[in-house]
Structure 1
Amino acid sequence: MNRSGALLSTIRQNRGFYGALVLLLVIYLIYNILHPRGFSSAVLIQNANEAAAIAFVAMAETVPVLLGGLDLSVGAVMTLTACLASVVVNGSPSEIVFGMFLTLLCGATFGMLNGIIVVYGRLQPIIVTLATGAIAIGLALFIRPKPGGDIDGDLNWAVTNSLWDFVDTYQLFDPDAGWFAPIAWIPVPLILLAAVAVFVWLPYKKSVTGRTAYAIGSAEGAAFMSGLPINRAKIAAFTMAGFLAGCGGLYIAIQTSSGNADVMQAGAYTLNSIAAVVLGGTSLLGGTGGAIASMVGAFILRVISFYFRIVSIDPLLQPLIEGLVLLAAVSLGAIRTLRVKNRLELFR
């Protein structure tokens, strides 16, 4: 097969992702054209801050979806880790680093427990995570009965602004250096998302465990007969989901300098993460898609909400419009199911 044929084959196999990417570029371009301060670093930084947390949670939701299940606890785990971070991410630099490590460890451990219960309890993920999500909210309320916290101020400023501000805050080198100018405007939240995608998601996806997760979503029976480590892959997938949800919780705690055990927030993030997964082209039936695609889906959801600031829409109608968008996004995942004539086709 020549290069053009291989390229066309890749596009066909990933048409959902490429379609979502094109949609994101188009609607964000139009948003900047309509915005009075469009195409500025300040607008990009603000947008990146608002999209980062949901992007992390969407990445977290992707991994269980690849198995063919849903994790309804990702929003609650994000809330739990945010509340924990609001307590431990402060003090000396070493204490801050340890607090961040403890926060991410909490998320990963909670996800691992989800996986263990699903595998050895032989229960459906949607049922298990619905219950464990309630436990996570209970723990969050125990840590933070009232909203509050004491996140390090320098960390808050450095992580929620541009690379120039990050370098200037910690005096890493001269932020006005000529070689640094071309990238100094890039928002740190986007750098963090890219770092997690490159150094966490891609190695996982290429590993035997990651490939097994895809195989389970495609046809678990065939994966089992092939001798793949089914149980290990499921536990690892939920552990990864917990870790990524913990990344979201850590970020939102740093961004807001506080923790808030908000049940409504947890539910909203979970629902939005599922919609972002579908918008990114990942099938709810499992086996296809990826966390980077879900990140794109999360950006699409956030850009749609950005339009409310520049388009005259009654605030009372905004929740209705957002709800319709979410419903449409989740409904896309059922199209394949509605089209099949034979149920066996669902497992091909």
Structure 2
Amino acid sequence: MSASTSAGSAGRQRISEFFSLSGATGPLIGLILLCAFLSFATDSFLSFRNFLNIADQITVLGIMAVGMTFVILIGGIDLSVGSVLALSMMVLGFLNVTAGLPMTVAIPGALMAAAVCGAISGLLITTFRVPAFIATLAMMSIARGVANMITNGSQIIGFPAWFNMGAIIRHFGFLTMTVAVMLVVFAAAILFLRVREEGRSLYAIGGNPEVARLAGINVKLTTVLVYTVCALLSGLAGVLLAARLDSVQPSSGVAYELDAIAAVVIGGTSLSGGTGGVVGTLIGVLVIGVLRNGLNLLSVSPFLQAVIIGLVIVLAVAAETFKRRRN
């Protein structure tokens, strides 16, 4: 066997191991089959312009799903991300448009507001022993209420022109600012989970929190930080959504938490924690984005689209459960 053949085989093996370690082999195959079907079923799916549209459409979901992956890896859940996204958008609009502060102040302020929500959820879970479902459900209501209180339910418009143009202008002919930020977030998250000791500790906590504690991992602090980062990423997604829409309103982000959870589950991350990864989540986000795009191209009713996506989520969870039982 030649050296080039051996090197190529080793490279393919490393790529295969990378995806299998992330639990993404099945979702990747599903994504390929979905793309193949839509390529034959529609005339416009297999085009560069359509792929750019898909990339633009998944940016908000992708960033939120990264944070949700961290939460689910430690065996938690966060139902507040959609409301936190709305809150960050309203804080951004209030600081920049209403208060007249520059974006260099408004954007950090919006991110800080989101991070505080996550920290509070984490403290409720770790210090007061409130179940994650209840703590984040309460935060979902609180964040949405505060978002509405900022403007009494009204939208805010009037952002600087460059802010909106950052989500429209394509650098190098294909890359918008929002897509670039999503790619950076995914790359940083993948490296964090695979290289950093703190990233590997998330798997330990999700596998068995008590064993992780005995191994020297500060489970409480890590849990608070994970929920804070999840909320912070939701706030970042809110800033990017504001750039795309060139406006903010407190009703934004409704049911986004369900999409984020769905992307993580479809990507192969176990709801019981301890297994999965961001690579799988990226594929899960692409599955949802491609599926919605394809259904729109096929002129499928939005109501039927919700049913189809729900069935896909059920099948993904059932497949994960079957795989875990067999193992």
TM-score where L is the length of structure 1? 0.80
**Paired residue type of 2:179:** L
Change (3 A) 1:106 1:6: same
The answer to whether the aligner puts 1:230 opposite 2:237 as a matched pair is no
Structure 1, 235-244 or 192-201: larger mean CA deviation: 192-201
Q: Alignment partner for residue 259 of structure 1, among 231, 248, 263?
A: 248
Structure 1, 47-56 or 328-337: larger mean CA deviation: 328-337
Whole-Å separation in 2 of the counterparts to 1:48 and 1:5: 26
Q: Alignment partner for residue 146 of structure 1, among 142, 154, 159?
A: 154
Q: For residue 113 of structure 1, give the secondary structure of its aligned residue in structure 2.
A: helix
Whole-Å separation in 1 of the counterparts to 2:279 and 2:16: 19
The answer to whether the aligner puts 1:14 opposite 2:3 as a matched pair is no
Deviations 1:297-342 (A, max 9, x none): 11211211111222243454333223323333344443356x27xx
Q: Alignment partner for residue 218 of structure 1, among 207, 216, 225?
A: 207
Specify the alignment match of 1:322 in structure 2.
Answer: 309
- 1:88 positional shift: 3.2
Specify the alignment match of 2:111 in structure 1.
Answer: 104
Specify the alignment match of 1:158 in structure 2.
Answer: 166
In the alignment of these two chains, the number of paired residues is 317
Specify the alignment match of 2:293 in structure 1.
Answer: 306
Whole-Å separation in 2 of the counterparts to 1:219 and 1:315: 41
Specify the alignment match of 1:184 in structure 2.
Answer: 173
Gaps of 5+ in 2: 1-8
Specify the alignment match of 2:267 in structure 1.
Answer: 280
Whole-Å separation in 2 of the counterparts to 1:65 and 1:50: 23
- 1:222 positional shift: 1.3
Deviations 1:56-84 (A, max 9, x none): 12112111101111111111111211222
Whole-Å separation in 1 of the counterparts to 2:47 and 2:250: 34
Q: Alignment partner for residue 282 of structure 2, among 295, 307, 329?
A: 295
Counterpart contact for 1:59–1:292, Cα < 8 Å: no
Whole-Å separation in 2 of the counterparts to 1:297 and 1:25: 12
Q: What CA RMSD, in Å, does the superposition of the two structures yield over aligned residues?
A: 3.0
Whole-Å separation in 1 of the counterparts to 2:74 and 2:63: 18
- 1:209 positional shift: 3.0
Whole-Å separation in 1 of the counterparts to 2:19 and 2:283: 18
Change (3 A) 1:110 1:315: closer
Specify the alignment match of 1:132 in structure 2.
Answer: 139
Q: Alignment partner for residue 116 of structure 1, among 103, 116, 123?
A: 123
Whole-Å separation in 1 of the counterparts to 2:302 and 2:230: 34
TM-score where L is the length of structure 2? 0.85
Whole-Å separation in 1 of the counterparts to 2:23 and 2:193: 21
Structure 1, 51-60 or 314-323: larger mean CA deviation: 314-323
Counterpart contact for 1:87–1:149, Cα < 8 Å: no
Specify the alignment match of 2:60 in structure 1.
Answer: 53
Structure 1, 42-51 or 99-108: larger mean CA deviation: 42-51
Q: For residue 324 of structure 1, give the secondary structure of its aligned residue in structure 2.
A: helix
**Paired residue type of 1:218:** G
Identity between Structure 1 and Structure 2 (%): 26
Change (3 A) 1:142 1:221: same
Q: Alignment partner for residue 76 of structure 2, among 30, 49, 69?
A: 69
